[in-house]
């Protein structure tokens, strides 16, 4: 077919252009931007367009995904300069008449195309001891009861799916990658304010470190990036306040 004759998409489809920042460590010394034209439906998401590229144009395109429904947290990426989940971003919400730029999240080592090394992110998560710790026996040998109000205290921070959209949008994290980052603090918050947990003070000591909560500059990038709508900056300020007040007053805060 004469390449000068423009191909028309099938009925109902629109051709969009995705410009993807690609990097193959085996052949590239620097990342490079590559254009792809993809026929999409109005209801398609960025993840669908990436699948079409991978399945129909270039099988070497590399990205993470699993659930495709905003639950597993594996497909956070920068879409038009903003951290989002590819599976939760509808193409029709992005102005499909203009090219859509896709690149890996920032601040973590780039491995290939849209895949970064998540280990530094998970190391910070593990460091805040994100699991319930109780050393006293439950009353009368039964389960540990919790009132609805006590459960509500940390409800927002239970919603985290560890996608790293927040931490990798934080300019403090970009500078040297040493800061614990918003996601680790969110997950510490989830247990610090749990009335059944007895190790809040340990987590507060960990986050009182020079790379802990005090490095937050309240830029709100994290809250804007969070696909779960968690009020991250609020959670960080509650942990800051608890660091000063300490646990005996936390439970009634």
Residues binding ligand FES (CB under 6 A): 65-68, 70-75, 85, 87
70: partner contacted, choices ligand SF4, ligand FES, none (Cβ within 5-8 A by kind): ligand FES
Q: Given the complex with ligand FES, which of 73 and 107 has the nearer CB atom?
A: 73
Beta strands in 122-175 (DSSP E): none
Q: Given the complex with ligand SF4, which of 160 and 242 has the nearer CB atom?
A: 160
Distance of CA 186 to the CA centre of its chain: 12
115: partner contacted, choices ligand SF4, ligand FES, none (Cβ within 5-8 A by kind): none
**Dist. CA 248–CA 148, nearest whole Å:** 20
**Dist. CA 226–CA 253, nearest whole Å:** 25
Angle between helices 182-192 and 200-207 (to 10 degrees): 160
- The CA-based angle 41-43-49, given to 5 degrees, is 60
Q: Given the complex with ligand FES, which of 73 and 212 has the nearer CB atom?
A: 73
Report the candidate in 242, 243, 217, 222 with the shortest Cα–Cα distance to residue 232: 222
Helix (H) or strand (E) run with residue 244 in it: helix 232-245
Helix (H) or strand (E) run with residue 200 in it: helix 200-207
Report the candidate in 85, 67, 83 with the shortest Cα–Cα distance to residue 75: 85
**Dist. CA 57–CA 37, nearest whole Å:** 10
Residue-wise DSSP of 100-121 = EEEEPPSSS-EEETTEE--HHH
Supply the minimum distance, in Å, between the C-beta of residue 105 and ligand SF4. Answer: 10
Site track 234-253 with ligand SF4 (rule: CB under 6 A), x = hit: --------------------
Residue 226 touching ligand SF4 (CB under 6 A):
yes
Residue choice 161, 188, 204, 216 for contact with ligand SF4 (CB under 6 A): 161
What single DSSP character describes residue 1?
-
Q: Judged by CB under 6 A, which stretch of 26-34, 189-197, 205-213, 223-231 contacts ligand SF4?
A: 223-231
Residues 174-213 touching ligand SF4, rule: CB under 6 A, are 182-183, 186
Number of residues near ligand SF4 (by CB under 6 A): 16
Residues 53-82 touching ligand SF4, rule: CB under 6 A, are 73
Site track 105-144 with ligand SF4 (rule: CB under 6 A), x = hit: ----------------------------------------
Residue 18 touching ligand SF4 (CB under 6 A):
no
Which residues of this chain interact with ligand SF4, rule CB under 6 A?
Answer: 73, 160-166, 182-183, 186, 225-226, 228, 230, 232
């Amino acid at each position: 077919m004469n390449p000068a004759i423009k191909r028309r998409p099938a009925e109902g489809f629109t051709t969009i252009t995705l410009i993807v920042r690609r990097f193959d460590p085996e052949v590239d010394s620097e990342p490079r931007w590559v254009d792809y034209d993809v026929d999409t439906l109005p209801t398609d998401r960025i993840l669908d367009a990436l699948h079409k590229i991978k399945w129909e144009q270039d099988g070497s395109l590399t990205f993470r995904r699993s659930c495709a429904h905003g639950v597993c947290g594996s497909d956070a990426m920068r879409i038009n300069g903003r951290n989002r989940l590819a599976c939760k971003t509808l193409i029709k919400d992005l102005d499909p008449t203009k090219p859509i730029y896709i690149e890996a999240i920032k601040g973590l080592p780039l491995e290939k195309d849209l895949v970064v090394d998540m280990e530094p992110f998970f190391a910070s998560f593990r460091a805040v001891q994100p699991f319930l710790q109780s050393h006293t026996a439950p009353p009368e040998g039964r389960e540990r009861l919790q009132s609805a109000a006590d459960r509500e205290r940390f409800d927002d921070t239970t919603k985290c799916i560890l996608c790293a959209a927040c931490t990798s949008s934080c300019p403090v994290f970009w500078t040297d990658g040493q800061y614990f980052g918003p996601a680790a603090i969110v997950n510490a918050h989830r247990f610090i304010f749990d009335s059944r947990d007895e190790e809040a003070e340990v987590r507060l000591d960990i986050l009182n470190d020079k790379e802990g909560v005090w490095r937050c500059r309240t830029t709100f990038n994290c809250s804007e990036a969070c696909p779960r709508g968690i009020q991250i900056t609020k959670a960080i300020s509650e942990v800051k306040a608890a660091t000063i007040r300490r646990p005996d007053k936390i439970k009634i805060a």
